[in-house]
């Protein structure tokens, strides 16, 4: 028999999917986090969600072992992961309040404080080596590998030109209008934003498409040893491509598509772009997410240090 609380959870998840337009992955995550709380608290109705139950649940989460990393067990569940549970609960409680259902106020749940994120960054010189790596390999490669190298060059240039997420770049089709300097992309939460194409990105994409003999829909496709496969490149494949060229460029740090996205943001901010514009170009829902870049791109602080330090 379905309890009142389970029915409300089901309706909330439908609301998150249909009315809020969130992805199925988000819906499934919310389901997991909220169900975990229900099972821990052993409650059946919304009035049973209390401050004490939340406090006990937080203690429970804080004492859970973390996931294994490189074969070693983390001591506790990460604060970020603990907060994901609490964010899901707050969203559920806000939904109940909108429907006029008596329960605990969402404002009663504070998130755990987390350490400021450290950014994985590469230097400008390393970035330039990465972007030029396909050109270097092309000079020594077999002619049959040229199409693949042209594709990879276009991928790297597009990443740095636009700051796209990995999943967003994978989703692009070949009917991209290269007569314009911009195009629209559908990102997280089905939100559409505009991203911009540099001349070098447009040139790399044109050269790659000119070499293609197929009519397949995806912009970036897989190649086999015998020629074109035609399948859309997967996120994992693109991660491997970026890693391959980072190694070829002699970069010892771990380089991923997200590291290039970091480079895109820090490049803009270092050269004077305002944070609101960068937020829009990255597709961040919350400006606090974009602010992780500001402490490493504050030109004024750098100039003050240069002017006054050790004089």
Classified as helix, coil or strand, 110 is coil
Classified as helix, coil or strand, 6 is helix
The yes-or-no verdict on residue 69 having pLDDT over 60 is no
| Residue of 212, 252, 223 whose CA lies nearest to 148 | 223
**If you average pLDDT over residues 209-235, what whole number do you get?**
86
Q: To the nearest whole percent, how much of the chain has pLDDT over 70?
A: 89
Instruction: Label residue 297 by pLDDT band (50, 70, 90).
Output: low
Residue 8 CB: number of other CB atoms within 10 A?
19
The yes-or-no verdict on residue 73 having pLDDT over 60 is no
The yes-or-no verdict on residue 132 having pLDDT over 90 is yes
182 φ/ψ angles, rounded to the nearest 5 degrees: -150, 160
Give pLDDT, residue 76: 79
Q: What DSSP string runs through 117-179?
A: PPP----HHHHHHHHHHHHHHHHHS-GGGHHHHHHHHHHHHHHHHH---HHHHHT-BTT--TT
Which tokens sit at 146?
Answer: 């040229």
Radius of gyration, CA atoms only, the chain:
24
CB burial string 63-94: b at 16+ within 10 A, e below: eeeeeeeeeeeeeebeeeebbbbbebbbbbbe
Just list the catalytic residues.
165, 188, 258, 261, 284, 293
Q: What is the DSSP letter of 108?
A: G
Strand runs (DSSP E) across 156-294, as ranges? 182-186, 192-196, 221-224, 227-232
How far apart, in Å, are the Cα atoms of 87 and each of 29, 93, 138, 294?
11, 10, 48, 25
The yes-or-no verdict on residue 80 having pLDDT over 60 is yes
Residue whose structure tokens are 């909108």: 98
Give pLDDT, residue 124: 92
Q: For 251-288, how does the pLDDT look when each residue is reduced to its tens digit (9 = 90+)?
A: 999 999 999 999 999 999 988 899 999 999 999 988 88
pTM of the model: 0.72
Which domains are delineated in the chain? 4-67+75-108 (1.10.150.130), 124-303 (1.10.443.10)
Q: For 84-97, how does the pLDDT look when each residue is reduced to its tens digit (9 = 90+)?
A: 999 999 999 999 99
């Amino acid at each position: 028999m379905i309890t009142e609380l389970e029915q409300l959870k089901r309706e909330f998840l439908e609301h998150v999917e249909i009315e809020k337009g969130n992805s199925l992955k988000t819906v499934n995550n919310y389901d997991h986090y909220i169900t975990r709380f229900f099972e821990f608290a052993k409650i059946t109705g919304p009035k049973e969600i209390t401050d004490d139950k939340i406090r006990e649940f937080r203690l429970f989460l804080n004492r859970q072992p973390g996931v294994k990393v490189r074969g070693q067990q983390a001591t506790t569940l990460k604060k970020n992961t603990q907060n994901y549970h609490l964010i899901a609960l707050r969203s559920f409680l806000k939904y109940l309040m909108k429907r006029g259902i008596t329960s605990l106020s969402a404002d009663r749940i504070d998130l755990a404080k987390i350490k400021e994120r450290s950014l994985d960054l590469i230097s400008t010189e390393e970035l330039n080596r990465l972007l030029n790596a396909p050109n270097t390999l092309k000079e020594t490669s077999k002619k049959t590998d040229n199409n693949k190298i042209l594709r990879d060059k276009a991928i790297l240039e597009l990443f740095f030109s636009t700051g796209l997420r990995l999943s967003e770049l994978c989703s692009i089709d070949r009917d991209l209008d290269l007569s314009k300097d911009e195009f629209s992309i559908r990102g997280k939460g089905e939100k559409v934003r505009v991203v911009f194409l540099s001349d070098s990105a447009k040139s790399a994409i044109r050269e790659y498409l000119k070499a293609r003999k197929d009519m397949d829909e995806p912009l970036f496709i897989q190649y086999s040893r015998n020629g074109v496969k035609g399948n859309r490149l997967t996120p994992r494949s693109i991660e491997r491509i970026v890693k391959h060229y980072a190694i070829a460029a002699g970069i010892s740090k771990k380089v991923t598509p997200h590291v290039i996205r970091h480079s895109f943001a820090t490049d803009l901010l270092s050269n004077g772009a305002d944070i609101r514009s960068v937020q829009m170009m990255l597709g961040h829902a919350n400006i606090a997410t974009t602010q992780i870049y500001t402490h490493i791109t504050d030109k004024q602080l750098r100039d003050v240090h240069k002017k006054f330090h050790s004089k």
